[in-house]
Chain A
């Protein structure tokens, strides 16, 4: 079962910036790096819940706006000495139309499992 949601165009997000997507699983931050790579994570810093979408994006990381935790957008892991990670969501971009699609499959599956 495919679970890809069209959420907009690459150009809807500023380079080295982020936008939010509201989902049943909470707010998701969708980032666009300087090289136009797209990443999606939950919009909650593992430290104290800071909104990562509001942070500064550099290479494939974001620095949390509240207390400067640096989080890898690829793995969701906190860089440096801190421990912790955020959920990452799969994204894909159609090379012709630049449409971004986001998958909630893992999340949905986890919830189904928990419900069963």
Chain B
């Protein structure tokens, strides 16, 4: 019969211990857990992203109800244990639930400390420890107002940043002269203060909180110097105390925390203590990494007599505030016997400081750029001598031994036992081993199998680099180049994940892929808008506000803020009616310049924005549509006169060009697509430097692609030869559709070819007619939704009419009043 194991507290530490236990000795124990919180085990570290809105509670659940059921665990939610009866070997919770135990784990965590100043018991004085605290803060934030956070340490600042992101005004009061003084030196503390202030968070240092003001709920905070700050809530984040009352009442040895030996047993050998409530060799911990180490020892000890011992931990700290990179570890006080190495880059807001003693790193503070944190921490823990690399040490690992600044090489150089994930204590070889042994290819799989990057997430970049290293070509090397500062994911990852996770809107992509900013930037939003449009035709609704102005108003902005207007001239052909309509428009709206473009059509430059809808209405009336001269879209199809007139012409190049343009106009593409059709190899339409070009010959049509004649100059490659015009059209359309589905935003066709290779493109559109047909059909389907003239939509006054009218006019008199 299984022995009975009772666990008091269902926090992160015992959760981890149980995982180990069920792996090592399934069925050995029948487990009962009592949890004062009315819920399952969740990742407490991630409360800050929940507070700031970057994650939801569901995202941070570690063990769901099904997990407890599958391991036969009885979980008493919302039941606080009030007594441990060691003689009877039972625990009893509030409302009388009693459970007998053979072995007991006390894992009661810690309690936030509340400074006992006047007013500290008023409604609205909150702590920051569990989901209930987050929910109370969110409720307060929903109606705005000011929050005062007392305490400028890790928790206080994460709370402040979260509340700010939720729209509250926030003041941080900190007793010491600089923030996070226990983890940061004053220089880094100052940089941190500056970036918090830049986000609109008020920071008051050397602030001694005198009293909290208010009748029955918080109204303000008074400082010792008499300053009064209005406040709707006060978050106390001044420190934590191990929660030991229960253990003390049961007669266990208690100092600052519940005392345990290296075997994690308390003074009663059948009772273990684990987590933040513990005191081990005089030390209490408030970070998760040491607790996980303890958890492993507890699990081993529960399986039977063994050698597994906990010997204490060295810890490092990272602040999880989106956009602020900060790392600190060890001891960085100054001293005569110590030497410091400092690197600053003021414009980039980077500060790095290492403290070296007896040729060993004993402390590290990194601000603004923390990629080398793991490496420094590893040198520190292993007490590696640093004299050989002393000169370049501060520049980090990538500078050591050859290839500078290549992150992959840097990760490759790490020893197998180097720690990658600090929270879970996962080393490099464990990750690479799991990737190879289990054939893992995605970050999620690596997380599931190794736990690396599954807690605070700051090592995600390193883990991805390890994947690139281990998987080689199978892992796209571009994957380590993020799309922009808002994400660590590359274009390739984002495109893949949009399809894999069926993400269908920009907010959904940002939420699911953990965007680091609330609403993206001018780099990622247009890219996401394109990807969603290309991947979900007919379903995704184009987001105008994520388009560059030219694509939003379907005209090209000029340096003086006016616009240019280029109507399509199919294949470069025009008529007297079209030319007359253009002439009339130019007169009517007094358009200052008219020019032939390099793309065989006419540009009207200098149109006032307000006039655009009327200009378009007139052009529409003459049968003209937008030439998309502004779009990441099909631009022009240049042609030459071909068999119609030319004495050398071999095929109807003009006809094919017109046909292609009429078939493909309106389509959005990763970058602009320009085409041309020349009637013979003399190539008057310059087809051999276009994204797609056709050279007609007596035998048929030579399909070219991947030329460039802008920033880069490059002749085209030949894709294939076909005999008929229909085949030529099908080939071109399938090629462009493949590019639409694979191209990275702003990647012209020639760059896409370079990335994916000729073989893969030929395999998709040339070698296999059935596949080609699939791409062709997908293009046709997407055209159902995009082949609409955007000018007509706007000229009628319905769509986006706000774009073209000022909101208000304030006359001089009114303003001068």
Contact = CB atoms under 8 A, between A and B. Distances in A.
Interface in A29-88: 30, 33-35, 48-51, 54-59, 61, 63, 65-66, 68, 70, 74, 81
A43 to B, nearest CB: 8
Interface stretch (B223-231, B356-364, B543-551): B543-551
A66 B563 CA distance: 12
Given A3-B817, A17-B545, A108-B815, A34 B518 contact: yes
Given A21-B807, A50-B561, A104-B815, A16 B519 contact: yes
Contact of A55 (B347, B544, B549): B549
A63 B521 contact: yes
Contacts of B802: 12-14, 17, 19
Contacts of B522: 55-56, 58, 63, 68, 70
A66 B561 CA distance: 9
A108 B808 contact: no
A54 B549 contact: yes
Contacts of B808: 5-8, 21-22
A19 B807 contact: yes
Contact of B544 (A14, A19, A48, A66): A14
B803 to A, nearest CB: 9
Given A34-B518, A58-B520, A81-B347, A5 B810 contact: yes
A56 B810 contact: no
B812 interface: yes
B64 to A, nearest CB: 31
Given A12-B807, A21-B807, A66 B521 contact: no
Nearest to B807: A19
Interface string B524-567: 01100000000000000000111111100100010111000000
A22 B545 contact: no
Q: Which of B167, B522, B816 has the largest count of A CB atoms less than 10 A from its CB?
A: B522
Given A13-B802, A50-B561, A68-B522, A24 B549 contact: no
Contacts of B526: 56
Contact of B549 (A7, A12, A65): A65
Nearest to A20: B806
Contacts of B545: 14-17, 56-57
Contacts of B200: 74
A58 B806 contact: no
Contacts of A23: 809-810, 815
A35 B522 CA distance: 17
A59 B485 CA distance: 13
Nearest to A112: B816
Nearest to A17: B545
A91 B561 CA distance: 25
A1 interface: yes
A22 B807 CA distance: 8
Given A3-B817, A5-B815, A63-B521, A104 B810 contact: yes
B816 A56 contact: no
A12 B803 CA distance: 10
B517 interface: yes
B814 interface: yes
Contacts of B561: 49-51, 54
B544 to A, nearest CB: 7
A10 B119 CA distance: 39
Contacts of A56: 521-522, 525-526, 545-549
Interface residues of A, number: 45
B598 interface: no
B116 interface: no
B815 A25 contact: yes
Contacts of B812: 24
Nearest to B144: A95
B715 to A, nearest CB: 31
B710 interface: no
Contacts of A59: 517-519
A59 B518 CA distance: 6
Nearest to A75: B198
Nearest to B814: A5
B811 interface: yes
Contacts of A8: 807-808
Contacts of B553: 54
Interface string B450-488: 000000000000000000000000000000000000000
Contacts of B517: 58-59
B607 to A, nearest CB: 14
Contacts of B559: 48, 66
A33 B167 CA distance: 12
B344 to A, nearest CB: 15
A111 B367 CA distance: 44
A65 B810 contact: no
B806 A21 contact: yes
A95 to B, nearest CB: 10
Nearest to A9: B807
Contacts of A48: 559
A30 to B, nearest CB: 6
Contacts of B547: 56
A13 B807 contact: yes
A103 B445 CA distance: 55
A58 B521 contact: yes
A8 B544 CA distance: 21
Contacts of A22: 806, 808-810
A33 B518 CA distance: 11
Contacts of A3: 815, 817
A76 B807 CA distance: 21
A61 B726 CA distance: 49
A54 to B, nearest CB: 4
A39 B290 CA distance: 47
Nearest to B563: A54
Interface string B178-208: 0000000000000000000000100000000
B809 A21 contact: yes
Contact of A1 (B548, B806, B817): B817
Contacts of B520: 58
A63 B484 CA distance: 14
12 contacts: A5-B814, A13-B807, A21-B806, A21-B809, A35-B518, A51-B561, A55-B522, A56-B545, A61-B521, A65-B548, A65-B549, A104-B810
What are the 8 tightest A-B residue pairs by CB atom distance, in nearest-first order? A63-B522, A19-B807, A7-B808, A16-B545, A54-B549, A56-B522, A24-B812, A51-B561
Given A59-B519, A70-B522, A81-B347, 14 more contacts: A3-B815, A5-B810, A5-B814, A6-B808, A7-B808, A8-B808, A16-B546, A17-B802, A19-B806, A49-B561, A51-B557, A51-B561, A55-B522, A61-B521
